[in-house]
């Protein structure tokens, strides 16, 4: 009886502790008392027309670079020149590697480190099979009932054009930024960014230029994407995952399929693939910690209890997150077997069988570490494992920096209902080329997205409302107007 009593007291105590921590561990860490942004008067209709005109220029990125449409990119350069005369009078403009653009607008204070704003000119192609599903043609640049339509309306001509509008507004008012500002608009982000942003980064390095902060596309203002949170959430990417393709190769002597060995090259490869899939990378909640820190207060109570007590409940939390295809990539290096090749004929034994496995590497893991994990998992010397295309995960930028605080304050000033959180970008952006040029690299664009509209980016009926476009211009205008030396908080 006494033992039972003691056990009950301990249990009640433990449960109480868990529940109390759910209440106390997550104070409200959103920034409050931010002045709303000034509603700078703008000609929304003219701005929308200029965005629509930019969409009509088909600056398409093709995997096969021989399809590259040089004329479209040069047209786009001229288009900017024509529509933003003040920038072109005030800025130094350089064309990098033929098609990428770099603008430098000198600020008041040359002592301050410059800020870099990035975007990309290229857009993904339109799948011919879906062309009939577009309500307005993908390169029509139609404006219909307050909506601008077409490929690039979001990704990423929205960024490029909104930045140009914002700077032109500033110059028209006779102002200039407090620190020097660079714009970098790459021309091949959608096919890896090597020729565009990659060259721009080299160009900056060669001149010894580094940045107070870098802002590229990536996160957005999401609605309904964070489980249990109804308010819109602005997600600022503070890191991005690494990327790697491993090729698994098995060589064999081949021959006729009527006299096969017990295991062909294809069979040995298949066994290796099973082992790869059966040995996923371990989950690591630490990549989500900054997100819990800023958002925890707004999570449902049950979620808070779990997250406040990961010292006890982390296996449970991990299990829940790993069960979700959208959440799992935030807490582990992902493994995806994508391409397979064996014999070219049904009655010939393969002399060589290959598989390609694509990994998205979590910060904290590395290219070498992931390869070793796979070699150990396969544990078969007949399977050769080689690295093809790899880049390490990015460093994680601080949420205490000038750049982050400026973004946080400007977003809250843009709309006080929007919650702001840092997060890990699951895909890749051009920003990865710039991690040596600044320790504050952020990925965010002022764009509103929900689970349904997210599919339009790279999909069918890409569009932005004129209201949201104006919101983006005002957002960049506010950023450019607050680049002084005192942290913005
Ligand atoms: Zn993009």
DSSP string across 216-280: EEEEEEESS-STT--S-EEEEEEEE-EEEEEEEEEE---EETTS--SS-HHHHHHHHHHHHHHSP
Say if residue 247 is in the same domain as residue 231.
no
Concerning whether 439 is annotated as a catalytic residue, the answer is no
Calculate the CA 59 to chain-centre distance.
21
Torsion on CA atoms 345, 350, 351, 357, rounded to nearest 10:
120
Residue identified by tokens 């040029």 is 437
Q: Give 217 Cα–ligand 1 centroid separation in angstroms.
A: 6
User: Domain for residue 246, yes or no?
Assistant: yes
* pTM, rounded to two decimals: 0.92
Per the omega criterion (within 30 degrees of 0), is the bond before 485 cis? no
pLDDT at 22: 79
Say if residue 303 is in the same domain as residue 168.
no
Q: Give 155 Cα–ligand 1 centroid separation in angstroms.
A: 5
Residue identified by tokens 């703008």 is 42
Which domain covers residue 227, as residue numbers? 44-240+394-481
Q: Give 411 Cα–ligand 1 centroid separation in angstroms.
A: 20
Say if residue 105 is in the same domain as residue 154.
yes
Q: Give 116 Cα–ligand 1 centroid separation in angstroms.
A: 16
pLDDT at 65: 87
Contact 58, 160 (CB under 8 A): no
Identify the bridge partners of residue 357 per DSSP, sorted by sequence position: 246, 337
C-alpha to C-alpha distances, 357 to 138, 245, 353, nearest whole angstrom: 33, 6, 13
CATH of the domain at 120: 3.40.630.10
User: Domain for residue 290, yes or no?
Assistant: yes
Residue identified by tokens 């104006």 is 470
Q: Give 430 Cα–ligand 1 centroid separation in angstroms.
A: 8
Q: Which residues of 271-302 are buried (b: 16+ CB within 10 A; e: fewer)?
A: ebbeebeeeebebbbebbebbbbbbbebbeee
**What 8-state DSSP symbol labels residue 295?**
H
Domain closes at, from 368, 391, 414? 391
Out of 165, 168, 189, 240, the active site residue is: 189
Say if residue 320 is in the same domain as residue 464.
no
Structural domains in the chain (count): 2
C-alpha to C-alpha distances, 374 to 141, 394, 444, nearest whole angstrom: 47, 21, 33
Question: How far, in Å, CA of 325 to CA of 331, rounded?
Answer: 11
Point out the residues of the chain with pLDDT beneath 50: 488-489
- Which tokens is 216 given? 């590229």
C-beta atoms surrounding 235 within 10 Å: 24
Q: Could you give phi then psi for residue 423, rounded to 5 degrees?
A: -160, 170
Q: Give 68 Cα–ligand 1 centroid separation in angstroms.
A: 18
User: Domain for residue 14, yes or no?
Assistant: no
Burial class (CB in 10 A: 0-12, 13-18, 19+), 254: middle
CATH of the domain at 338: 3.30.70.360
Say if residue 50 is in the same domain as residue 179.
yes
Q: Give 103 Cα–ligand 1 centroid separation in angstroms.
A: 19
Q: What is the CA radius of gyration of the chain?
A: 26
Q: Give 127 Cα–ligand 1 centroid separation in angstroms.
A: 17
Concerning whether 381 is annotated as a catalytic residue, the answer is no
pLDDT at 231: 96
Question: How far, in Å, CA of 202 to CA of 434, rounded?
Answer: 9
Q: Give 152 Cα–ligand 1 centroid separation in angstroms.
A: 8
User: Domain for residue 214, yes or no?
Assistant: yes
pLDDT at 73: 98
Q: Give 157 Cα–ligand 1 centroid separation in angstroms.
A: 9
Q: Give 121 Cα–ligand 1 centroid separation in angstroms.
A: 9
Contact 447, 276 (CB under 8 A): no
pLDDT at 33: 94
User: Domain for residue 408, yes or no?
Assistant: yes
Q: Could you give phi then psi for residue 218, rounded to 5 degrees?
A: 150, -95
Say if residue 335 is in the same domain as residue 405.
no
Q: Give 443 Cα–ligand 1 centroid separation in angstroms.
A: 11
Say if residue 83 is in the same domain as residue 207.
yes
User: Domain for residue 37, yes or no?
Assistant: no
Contact 131, 203 (CB under 8 A): no
pLDDT at 1: 61
Say if residue 246 is in the same domain as residue 236.
no
Q: Could you give phi then psi for residue 418, rounded to 5 degrees?
A: -80, 125
Say if residue 317 is in the same domain as residue 379.
yes
User: Domain for residue 36, yes or no?
Assistant: no
Is 163 in a helix, a strand, or coil?
helix
User: Domain for residue 29, yes or no?
Assistant: no
Q: Give 387 Cα–ligand 1 centroid separation in angstroms.
A: 26
pLDDT at 308: 87
pLDDT at 14: 76
């Amino acid at each position: 009886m006494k033992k039972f009593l003691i056990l009950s007291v301990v249990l009640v105590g433990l449960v109480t502790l868990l529940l109390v921590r759910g209440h106390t561990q997550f104070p409200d860490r959103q920034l409050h008392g931010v002045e709303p942004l000034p509603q700078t008067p703008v000609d929304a209709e003219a701005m929308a027309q200029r965005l629509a005109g930019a969409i009509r220029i088909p600056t398409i990125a093709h995997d096969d670079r021989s399809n590259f449409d040089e004329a479209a990119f040069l047209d786009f350069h001229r288009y900017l020149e024509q529509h933003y005369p003040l920038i072109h009078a005030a800025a130094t403009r350089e064309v990098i590697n033929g098609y990428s653009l770099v603008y430098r607008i000198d600020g008041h204070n040359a002592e301050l480190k410059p800020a870099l704003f990035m975007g990309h000119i290229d857009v993904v192609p339109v799948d011919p099979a879906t062309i009939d599903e577009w309500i307005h043609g993908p390169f029509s640049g139609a404006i219909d009932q307050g909506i601008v339509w077409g490929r690039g309306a979001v990704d990423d001509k929205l960024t490029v054009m909104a930045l140009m509008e914002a700077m032109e507004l500033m110059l028209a008012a006779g102002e200039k930024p407090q620190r020097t500002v660079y714009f970098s608009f790459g021309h091949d982000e959608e096919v890896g960014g090597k020729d565009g942003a990659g060259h721009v980064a080299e160009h900056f390095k060669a001149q010894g230029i580094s940045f107070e902060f870098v802002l590229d596309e990536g996160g957005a203002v999401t609605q309904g994407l964070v489980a249990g949170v109804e308010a819109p959430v602005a997600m600022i990417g503070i890191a991005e995952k690494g990327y790697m393709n491993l090729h698994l190769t098995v060589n064999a002597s081949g021959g006729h399929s009527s006299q096969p060995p017990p295991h062909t090259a294809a069979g040995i490869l298949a066994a290796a693939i099973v082992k790869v899939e059966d040995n996923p990378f371990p989950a690591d909640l630490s990549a989500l910690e900054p997100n819990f820190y800023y958002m925890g207060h707004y999570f449902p109570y049950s979620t808070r209890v779990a997250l406040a007590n990961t010292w006890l409940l982390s296996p449970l939390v991990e299990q829940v997150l790993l069960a979700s295809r959208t959440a799992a990539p935030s807490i582990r290096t992902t493994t995806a077997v994508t391409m397979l090749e064996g014999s070219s004929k049904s009655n010939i034994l393969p002399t060589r069988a290959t598989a390609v496995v694509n990994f998205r590497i979590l910060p904290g893991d590395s290219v070498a570490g992931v390869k070793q994990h796979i070699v150990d998992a396969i544990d078969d010397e007949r399977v050769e494992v080689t690295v093809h295309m790899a880049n390490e995960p990015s460093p994680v930028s601080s949420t205490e920096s000038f750049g982050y605080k400026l973004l946080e304050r400007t977003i809250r000033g843009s709309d006080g209902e929007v919650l702001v959180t840092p997060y890990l970008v699951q895909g890749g952006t051009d920003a990865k080329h710039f991690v040596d040029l600044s320790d504050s690299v952020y990925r965010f664009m002022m764009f509103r997205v929900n689970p349904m509209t997210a599919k339009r980016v790279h999909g069918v009926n890409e569009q932005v409302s004129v209201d949201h476009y104006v919101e983006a211009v005002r957002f960049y205008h506010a950023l450019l107007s607050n680049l002084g030396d005192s942290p913005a908080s």
